[in-house]
Chain A
Amino acid sequence: MTAFGADLKDREVPGMLRGATAFTADISLPRMLHLAFVRSEHGHARIDSIDTAQAAAMPGVVTVVTQEDLAGALMPMPCIWIPGGVESHFPPHPYGVPGAGTVLADGVVRFIGEPVAAVVAETVEQADEAARAVVVGYTPLPAVTEPQAALADGAPQLHEAVPNNLNALWTCGNAEAADAAIAAAEVVVELDLYNQRTINNPMEPRAAIGDYDPITEEYTLYATTQSPHNHRFLLSALVLGIPFNKLRVIAPPIGGSFGTKGYLYPDMPLVLHLAHKLGRPVRWADTREGLMRSTVQGRDHRQHITLAGTRDGRITGLRCTSYANLGAYPSTIGPGVATALMGRSITGPYEIASAFCEVHAVFTNTVPLGAQRGSGRAEATMITERVIDLYAREIGADPADVRLRNMVPPDRFPYDNGLGWTYDSGDYPAALRRALELAGYHKAEVLRREARERGKLLGIGVGSFVAICGVGPSTRMQAEGMLGGTWESANIRVHPNGEVAVTIGSTSTGQSHTTTFAQIAADELGIDPAAIVVTQADTRKAPYGQGTYGSRSYSVGGPAVAIAARQVIAKMRTAAAHFMGVSEDLIEYADGTFTVQGKEDAAKSFQDMAMALWYGWSLPPGMEPTVDVTTFFDPPDFNYPFGSHVAVVEIDENTGQVEVVDYAAVHDVGPVGNPMVVTGQFEGSIVHGLGQALMEQARYDATGALLSADLTTYAMPRAHDLPPLELDRTVTPSPHNPLGVKGAGEIATVPVTAAVANAVCDALRELGVRHIDMPFTPEKIWRAINEAKG
């Protein structure tokens, strides 16, 4: 059987191509009402008054609520990932877990876009118009939008309980050893870098519909959530305070997420609460402008790094200090993303004896920070890969050679990086060599001269990475401070005729789960994938799962499917031996048929066994009828996909325009179940990274107003921005799951900014430019060239 590894077409796509796929905002329930938020227009202000009278009297308006109306009915939101071992100063949730914000603003607004009130009306338009008529009296307060400024004496204070706005100071590694390595080093290189704030901007803005059945007292939430089970738990237990059994969460098809839809947002409890209160379904669908000022944003680290090394290219120490801009409140898992995922990753794929990282996680008057495709790992990779290039230049070595020299060799696994990660497997130098070959790295000087003749400055840059994925062992994540298990699950039910239903705990946000998980099951079961239906994303139908994030669905949930399938075959094997009257160890199973060694005429098909177990006649003693298996997989450790990218850029010296003219990328995600789907993830990830490198930036002014507030002011890549891509893979299985697979959904974003930054700085090196921060907009490059030329 060869379903695993085949380019099967995604089953969900025909519906999407016909416009038949109903996303959350496309769902209409009978008697449905519509909710609109009144959002803060200030980065920081005291709320003096909220006058809802005029809005409440407007046509079609059913109710207007403020936090005052919700006190007692809805608890504050929880934060479930404060990094392990540090004290969070944010006020805890009433149940003692770390807290986040209230559902609606409570007396003070701390970021532009914070919801202050909500209006419910018969139509979207009526709700929007009435929301405009709510009069909020504000006293503006001084705002602070930069983490270092927020830590300074006299800075505006966001939360009474959080002195100096410092939520947590988190560290990893050995500071003394790193300092000693730096003090003793032949060469020390330092770099300051701003990894700018970005907005993930999935094409589908978030949406939520709450429904309540007064007879059964059951709530149903339809929402753009990549973690329906987890959100069911958090919402029922910690926000609404209702029985778990009374909340059903359904994630309709989701229009992209890239990390943003795994968070609890105020709309979720609010539509449920109001559906109950009003006795009608309540729908909220965000706009792009709303998304940009309320859905979690990404990156935003100000970093300083010091690298210690020898004259001959051996890196001996690394020390990084980062100021992470958490935004105004801790988002559901934001504080963990900004600290552990970044800090533990700074040694990248290199063997560095002494390393240390500290992250100051700071509140500011900006939209709360969360995950962005490749989060934490991309920020770590960017600064380390940049400083390695500077180090290579400093000692007159080739940057690729320095990388090859310092990479963890293939015989050193499992490899403890000294910061908390234990890399599982890989041949890091092999992937880099292949990427160099694809990009024609050895011809760089020829290309450079040839470009010069055309009036272009050519640069070539490498980005190598290893990215922790497959979150993760539950106990390990407990130590990281995550409140919740991080296993995944699968159920396999064999129908009487041998067709199969697979139900998974994880939820696709565009990664083709219903196809790729069928491929795993098909191979393990020895049947045609067309005979398998995969269901997900409904807490009433699916077994528990923790959610799709950190590239974990396929590498944690996929193995659950494989293990369940193996248990199906084991049961059938026992039954087949019984029916054929032979000892079980003589049974072989291949291509859908159980055969007996040495007895050519004896055979039972998968379908035979499905039917036999369905009837349940004369089963082996003690065997239960039917085959219906549920498994939970909690991996022994994370998995660590890796790879190298090489970017070739040309810069128009006259205009500063940067063009990526060639891009090679080699990844190792272990065995690949559907190469076409995985290639799609890689391509999308690379272009996402190019967006940050070249054009994307969320900009705030000093008052906390968001200047890039819609798609006319926040640029994202379009079709003409896709460079020629040359992709290849190496294959090193992970020992941490039975399929050997590693995360693939986001990893190709991780090294892109580094590769492009290194290429841009390489192109400008001859002019004397040392470093430029992203995004590499033409004017910025033009100015750097001008300054360098004096």
Chain B
Amino acid sequence: MQISLMVNGVSVETTVLPHVLLVDMLRDTCGLTGAKVGCGTGQCGTCVVQLGDRSVKGCQVLAVQADGAEVTTVEGVANGELTPLQQALWEEHGVQCGFCTPGMVMALTDLLEHEPAPDEQAIRAGIAGNMCRCTGYGGVLRAVRKVVGGKP
């Protein structure tokens, strides 16, 4: 099936079979390997990307469903620089092995775009769908608090 979409601001026209998942198309066709396939069942959140103006799990959406849409992956959230969120994740050591990081960044980017001043509960709820096995979430939460309130 022929689809055309914008990925990170770049127009992509490609042919894709209907059963192909969005995350697989991004990785295999677009060469954007930031989004990962960590579980396949929707629990881990390593595949989170933005579809339109909201984050979705790239393993729960078909590529054909993104026809005509704008997709943003972790490679496209910042142009060269790091966003304040990414900067804070670096400064607060919210990243260890880095495998969950792309999904974490995309989920939090969505949260902060729509709720610029989330409280602690909202921050945690914002990454309820993102698993991290390294940090225990401490550094991630400090980073978001820093972006929101200036203090980790």
Q: Do chains A and B touch in the complex (CB under 8 A)?
A: yes
From 374 to 429 in chain A, residues with beta carbon under 8 angstroms from any chain B beta carbon are: none
Q: B82 contacts which of A14, A205, A717, A725 (Cβ < 8 Å)? A: A14
Tell me which residues across on chain B come within 8 A of A712, comparing CB atoms: 41, 43
Say yes or no: B78 contacts A511, CB within 8 Å: no
Given A203-B131, A204-B38, are A17 and B101 neighbors across the interface (CB < 8 Å)?
yes
Closest CB in chain A relative to B28 CB, distance in Å = 8
What are some 28 contacts across the A-B interface (CB < 8 A)? A12-B98, A13-B89, A13-B98, A17-B90, A17-B95, A19-B102, A200-B133, A202-B97, A203-B97, A204-B99, A255-B97, A256-B97, A287-B40, A288-B41, A289-B40, A510-B98, A511-B96, A676-B93, A680-B134, A684-B133, A710-B40, A711-B131, A712-B43, A718-B131, A719-B127, A722-B124, A722-B136, A722-B137
Is the CB of A446 closer than 8 A to any CB of chain B? no
Tell me which residues across on chain B come within 8 A of A289, comparing CB atoms: 40
Is the CB of A51 closer than 8 A to any CB of chain B? no
- Complex Cα distance A200/B78, Å? 33
Residue of A nearest to B31 (CB): A28
Tell me the B residues contacting A by CB distance below 8 Å.
27, 32-41, 43-44, 46, 73-75, 78, 82, 86, 89-91, 93, 95-102, 105, 121, 123-125, 127-128, 130-141
Q: B33 contacts which of A26, A719, A720 (Cβ < 8 Å)? A: A26
In addition to A23-B33, A684-B135, A719-B128, 13 A-B residue pairs with Cβ atoms within 8 Å of each other are A10-B90, A21-B98, A23-B36, A203-B132, A255-B98, A289-B40, A680-B134, A680-B135, A684-B138, A686-B136, A712-B41, A719-B141, A720-B125
Closest CB in chain B relative to A357 CB, distance in Å = 30
Tell me which residues across on chain B come within 8 A of A200, comparing CB atoms: 133
Say yes or no: B43 contacts A10, CB within 8 Å: no
Residue of B nearest to A202 (CB): B133
Say yes or no: B40 contacts A683, CB within 8 Å: no
- For the complex of A and B, 6 pairs with smallest distance between CB atoms: A19-B34, A510-B97, A16-B98, A255-B99, A687-B136, A19-B74
Tell me the A residues contacting B by CB distance below 8 Å.
9-10, 12-23, 25-26, 200-205, 253-256, 258, 287-289, 509-512, 676-677, 679-680, 683-688, 710-712, 716-720, 722, 725
- Complex Cα distance A68/B10, Å? 50
Closest CB in chain A relative to B115 CB, distance in Å = 15
Closest CB in chain B relative to A390 CB, distance in Å = 29
Tell me which residues across on chain B come within 8 A of A10, comparing CB atoms: 90, 93, 95-96
Given A18-B34, A684-B96, are A719 and B78 neighbors across the interface (CB < 8 Å)?
no
Tell me which residues across on chain B come within 8 A of A512, comparing CB atoms: 96
Closest CB in chain B relative to A728 CB, distance in Å = 15
Say yes or no: A19 contacts B133, CB within 8 Å: no
- Complex Cα distance A258/B134, Å? 9
Tell me which residues across on chain A come within 8 A of B43, comparing CB atoms: 711-712
Q: A687 contacts which of B37, B39, B100, B137 (Cβ < 8 Å)? A: B137
- Complex Cα distance A573/B141, Å? 47
Say yes or no: A254 contacts B97, CB within 8 Å: yes
- Complex Cα distance A14/B78, Å? 12
Say yes or no: A256 contacts B90, CB within 8 Å: no
Say yes or no: A256 contacts B134, CB within 8 Å: yes
- Complex Cα distance A20/B74, Å? 9
Given A256-B99, A256-B133, A680-B139, are A205 and B128 neighbors across the interface (CB < 8 Å)?
no
Tell me which residues across on chain B come within 8 A of A511, comparing CB atoms: 96
Tell me which residues across on chain B come within 8 A of A253, comparing CB atoms: 97-98
- Complex Cα distance A288/B78, Å? 30
Closest CB in chain A relative to B139 CB, distance in Å = 6
Say yes or no: A17 contacts B105, CB within 8 Å: yes
Tell me which residues across on chain A come within 8 A of B130, comparing CB atoms: 718-719
Residue of B nearest to A16 (CB): B98
Tell me which residues across on chain A come within 8 A of B128, comparing CB atoms: 718-720
Highest count of chain B CB atoms <10 Å: which of A26, A203, A716:
A203
Say yes or no: A719 contacts B93, CB within 8 Å: no
Highest count of chain B CB atoms <10 Å: which of A22, A204, A253, A718:
A718
Closest CB in chain B relative to A741 CB, distance in Å = 19
- Complex Cα distance A20/B32, Å? 9
Q: B95 contacts which of A16, A23, A25, A717 (Cβ < 8 Å)? A: A16
Closest CB in chain A relative to B44 CB, distance in Å = 6
Residue of B nearest to A289 (CB): B40
Say yes or no: A683 contacts B135, CB within 8 Å: yes
Highest count of chain A CB atoms <10 Å: which of B100, B121, B137, B141:
B137
Say yes or no: A204 contacts B97, CB within 8 Å: yes
- Complex Cα distance A712/B35, Å? 20
- Complex Cα distance A10/B34, Å? 19
Say yes or no: A510 contacts B134, CB within 8 Å: yes
Closest CB in chain A relative to B47 CB, distance in Å = 11
- Complex Cα distance A487/B75, Å? 40
Q: B136 contacts which of A14, A25, A288, A688 (Cβ < 8 Å)? A: A688
Tell me which residues across on chain A come within 8 A of B134, comparing CB atoms: 203, 256, 510, 680, 684
Tell me which residues across on chain B come within 8 A of A287, comparing CB atoms: 37, 40
Say yes or no: B96 contacts A203, CB within 8 Å: no
Closest CB in chain A relative to B138 CB, distance in Å = 4
Tell me which residues across on chain A come within 8 A of B37, comparing CB atoms: 287
- Complex Cα distance A288/B74, Å? 22
Say yes or no: B133 contacts A258, CB within 8 Å: yes
Closest CB in chain B relative to A465 CB, distance in Å = 18
- Complex Cα distance A160/B119, Å? 61
Closest CB in chain A relative to B22 CB, distance in Å = 15
Q: A680 contacts which of B35, B38, B91, B138 (Cβ < 8 Å)? A: B138
Closest CB in chain A relative to B128 CB, distance in Å = 6
Closest CB in chain A relative to B3 CB, distance in Å = 18
- Complex Cα distance A725/B43, Å? 25
Say yes or no: A719 contacts B140, CB within 8 Å: yes
Say yes or no: A19 contacts B33, CB within 8 Å: yes
Say yes or no: B41 contacts A679, CB within 8 Å: no
Tell me which residues across on chain B come within 8 A of A21, comparing CB atoms: 98
Say yes or no: A722 contacts B138, CB within 8 Å: yes
Say yes or no: A203 contacts B100, CB within 8 Å: yes
- Complex Cα distance A448/B147, Å? 37
Q: B74 contacts which of A18, A203, A204, A711 (Cβ < 8 Å)? A: A18
Tell me which residues across on chain A come within 8 A of B74, comparing CB atoms: 17-19
- Complex Cα distance A679/B78, Å? 28
Say yes or no: A679 contacts B97, CB within 8 Å: no
- Complex Cα distance A84/B100, Å? 39
Closest CB in chain A relative to B49 CB, distance in Å = 10
Say yes or no: B127 contacts A13, CB within 8 Å: no
Closest CB in chain B relative to A724 CB, distance in Å = 11
Tell me which residues across on chain B come within 8 A of A201, comparing CB atoms: 133
- Complex Cα distance A9/B40, Å? 32
Tell me which residues across on chain A come within 8 A of B127, comparing CB atoms: 718-719
- Complex Cα distance A288/B36, Å? 12
Say yes or no: A19 contacts B93, CB within 8 Å: no
- Complex Cα distance A68/B110, Å? 52
Say yes or no: A684 contacts B98, CB within 8 Å: no
Closest CB in chain A relative to B16 CB, distance in Å = 12
Say yes or no: B96 contacts A720, CB within 8 Å: no
Closest CB in chain B relative to A742 CB, distance in Å = 20
Tell me which residues across on chain A come within 8 A of B32, comparing CB atoms: 19
Say yes or no: B82 contacts A685, CB within 8 Å: no
Residue of B nearest to A509 (CB): B97
Tell me which residues across on chain B come within 8 A of A710, comparing CB atoms: 39-41
Residue of B nearest to A22 (CB): B33
Residue of B nearest to A713 (CB): B41
- Complex Cα distance A26/B40, Å? 16
Tell me which residues across on chain A come within 8 A of B97, comparing CB atoms: 202-204, 253-256, 509-510
Closest CB in chain A relative to B118 CB, distance in Å = 12
Closest CB in chain B relative to A113 CB, distance in Å = 16
Given A202-B97, A256-B134, A289-B40, are A719 and B90 neighbors across the interface (CB < 8 Å)?
no
- Complex Cα distance A16/B90, Å? 10
Given A19-B75, A20-B75, A509-B97, are A719 and B133 neighbors across the interface (CB < 8 Å)?
no
Tell me which residues across on chain B come within 8 A of A18, comparing CB atoms: 34, 74-75, 78, 82, 86
Residue of A nearest to B98 (CB): A16
Tell me which residues across on chain A come within 8 A of B46, comparing CB atoms: 203
- Complex Cα distance A720/B46, Å? 18
